[in-house]
Structure formats: C-alpha cells, structure tokens
C-alpha cells in the first residue's frame, strides 16, 4: 500500500503509515502447543490480567461446560468453540443456548428500574455474567461450584478434570439440556416452572441484581424437587415471598456474614429453608423474626437495618431511583391487600 500511495484510500494509507512507524515485538516460544498456551496466559497476565472466569473458560475451552457456557453467554453467536462438531449438533447447541440466554436475560435490564418486567439474571454484559453462567452450567450438571477467589492453582477447578468434548458435541448438548431444565424450574412457561418473580427473589431494595440468592434458590428448588417437597413449598409460598419482600435487607446481611456467590449461596439456601419450614409450621412473620433472633446461626439478621456497610453514592443515583420505584410498588401492594381484607 505504501508503494502505491496514489491509489490507496486516505484512511487506509494513514493506518499503514502508523503501522510502518511502530515496531511489532515478536516472541519465539520453543516447544509444543501446551507450552505455547502457558506462554499466552503468562504474557496476558503480566500487563492486563485476564478475568478469572474468562481464564477458566479459555483453559477449559474444549470441555462441555465451557463450550456450553460460552454459547449461552453469546446467545449461540460469536466465536464457535463448537465448530468441530457435526452440523446438526452445532445447530442444536446454538438453538438451546439461545433459548437459555432468553430465559436468563430477556427482557433487557434497563436502569433505573421502572417496571417489574425485569430479567432473571440481570444484565447480559455485566462483570459477573460469565461467572454466573459457568456456575449455573456446572451446578446443573453436578460439577462442584468453587470459590474462584480462593483457588490459586488451576487444578483447584473441577471442570479441568472433566474429559474434553472432542467427539460429536453430544456431551455439550447434554450440559445445555440439563441447564435449561434447571432454569425452567424457576422461570418460563413450561409446566415445571414455578414462575418465581426476579424482583422478589434476586434483586436488592436498590434494584441491584444479586447472584447469591439466585444460586441459593437454584439449590433449594433442586433439593425440594429431589425430596418431593415442591408441592408443600407452594402451600406457603405466598407467606415466604411476602417475608422476602418485606425484609429485602436479609440477603444483604447474609452476604456480609457469609460472602457472596460460591462462598455464601449454600448457607443462604439453608437460611431460606429454615424460614420456609417455620411457615410450614404455621408461624407468622413475627414468629419467624423471633426464631431468627433466637438462633445462634441466624441472629446476625437485624430487621429494619437498611443496608450494612453502604457505599458512598451520588445523590439520587440510578439505584436511588430504582429503590423509590420498588418502594412505591410495595406500598401499593400493601394498600390493595388491606382493602381486600376490609
């Protein structure tokens, strides 16, 4: 291009001149593909470290859970980690991944929150999206969820021990089918769906999406299904949801106590189960609060505390606007319920 500058488009010529003026550093890595891969990770972690979950997905890129998670994140589009499979299975992977993506992220979350029509899993492009989806895929397929922040060696991650899906993609499809079934238990139009409302279960009082209660509810519903307790849960579901709605700070205080994500979701799931069992025993809201206060395990909860360790925020932020909307809806619901009682 520089040799034929008179025939080159001006914008291309400018780019070529910049490239020509800047040296490109190349590094020769002796060895096999595995050594080249390790070199890639070392180089990329030196200046701008890769996100922990992104690194896990890259290292496990041929594993069924990584292929499934990558397909879900991109709604069946983007780089095809599944391109080596036969055409029919490629189509199936893209179709199921797109369906799961819609279950999790449709409609798109707009902040501040001004509607109850919000997605199950927050924004599809947030900092926690990859972590959330990989955890959901692993959980749905019986792969242990790990706290990535405390796992220093790659051997600490259970997905690395799973065999590669190098055959026809059937393992990846199985992982996707199991994931869709797990999510369909709590959202969607299938007969198995409980239709849990995200605003009640998975969003804070300020309209922030919370990954910990999402994983906790997945675990709880899976446990109830295995123990045939789902029908019994539905008999006290209203009381439980009213309690969650009235005590939005419960999850915040629990995550401060136990940690978020993989660190705290099992404990939070047990707390939810504790409260549900109290309602099954015909306890009311006041009774539940007393039982929590008398419990050595759950007496950290202080009703009425707005938020522990609040961060400094600008006045009337997006979260403040979301909180005002949610409070207005809550007040309206309470008024309607009181009128019905009259």
Task: Give burial (CB, 10 Å; 0-12/13-18/19+) of 193.
Answer: middle
What percentage of the chain exceeds 90 in pLDDT?
57
pLDDT tens digits, one per residue of 187-200: 988 888 999 999 99
Look at residue 154 in the predicted model and tell me its pLDDT. 66
Q: For the chain, what is the mean pLDDT?
A: 84
What number of other Cβ atoms are within 10 A of residue 108's Cβ?
10
Q: Is the pTM of this model over 0.85?
A: no
Asked whether residue 60 carries a pLDDT value surpassing 60, the answer given is: yes
Backbone angles phi, psi at 11, to 5 degrees: -70, -35
> What is the pLDDT, as a whole number, of residue 218?
96
In 162-241, DSSP assigns E strands to none
Listed residue (322, 315, 116, 119) closest to 206, CA to CA = 322
pLDDT at 337: 42
Question: 104 is written with which tokens?
Answer: 């999790």
In the chain, what are the domain boundaries? 194-342
Model confidence at 262: pLDDT above 80: yes
pLDDT, tens digit, 9 for 90 and up, residues 100-116: 999 999 999 888 878 88
CA–CA distance from 22 to each of 5, 15, 18, 43, 47 (Å)?
19, 11, 7, 20, 19
Where do the DSSP E strands lie in 40-144?
Answer: none
| The pLDDT value given to residue 68 | 97
């Amino acid at each position: 291009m520089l040799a034929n500058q008179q025939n080159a488009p001006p914008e291309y010529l400018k780019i070529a001149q910049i490239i020509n003026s800047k040296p490109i550093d190349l590094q020769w890595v002796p060895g096999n593909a595995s050594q080249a891969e390790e070199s890639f990770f070392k180089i990329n972690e030196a200046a701008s470290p890769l996100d922990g979950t992104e690194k896990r997905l890259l290292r496990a890129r041929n594993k069924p859970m990584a292929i499934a998670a990558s397909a879900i994140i991109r709604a069946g589009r983007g780089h095809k980690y599944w391109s080596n499979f036969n055409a029919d299975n490629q189509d199936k992977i893209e179709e199921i991944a797109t369906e799961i993506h819609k279950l999790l992220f449709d409609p798109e979350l707009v902040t501040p929150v001004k509607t109850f029509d919000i997605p199950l899993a927050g924004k599809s492009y947030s900092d926690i999206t990859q972590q959330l989806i990989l955890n959901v895929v692993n959980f749905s397929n019986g792969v242990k969820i790990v706290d990535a922040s405390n796992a220093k060696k790659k051997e600490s991650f259970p997905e690395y021990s799973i065999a590669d899906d190098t055959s026809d993609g059937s393992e990846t499809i199985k992982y996707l089918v199991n994931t869709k079934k797990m999510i369909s238990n709590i959202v969607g139009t299938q007969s198995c769906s409980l239709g849990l409302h995200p605003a009640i279960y998975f969003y804070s009082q300020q309209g922030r999406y919370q990954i910990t209660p999402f994983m906790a509810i997945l675990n709880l519903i899976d446990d109830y299904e295995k123990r045939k307790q789902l029908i019994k849960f539905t008999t006290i579901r209203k009381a439980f949801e009213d309690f969650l709605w009235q005590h939005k700070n419960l999850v915040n205080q629990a995550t401060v106590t136990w940690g978020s994500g993989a660190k705290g979701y099992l404990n939070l799931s047990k707390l939810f189960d504790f409260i549900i069992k109290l309602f099954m025993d015909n306890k009311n809201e006041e009774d539940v609060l007393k039982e929590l206060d008398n419990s050595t395990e759950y007496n950290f909860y202080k009703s009425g505390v707005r938020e522990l360790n609040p961060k400094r925020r600008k006045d009337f932020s997006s979260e403040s606007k979301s909180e005002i909307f949610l409070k207005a809806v809550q007040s309206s619901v309470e008024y309607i319920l009181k009128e019905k009682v009259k």
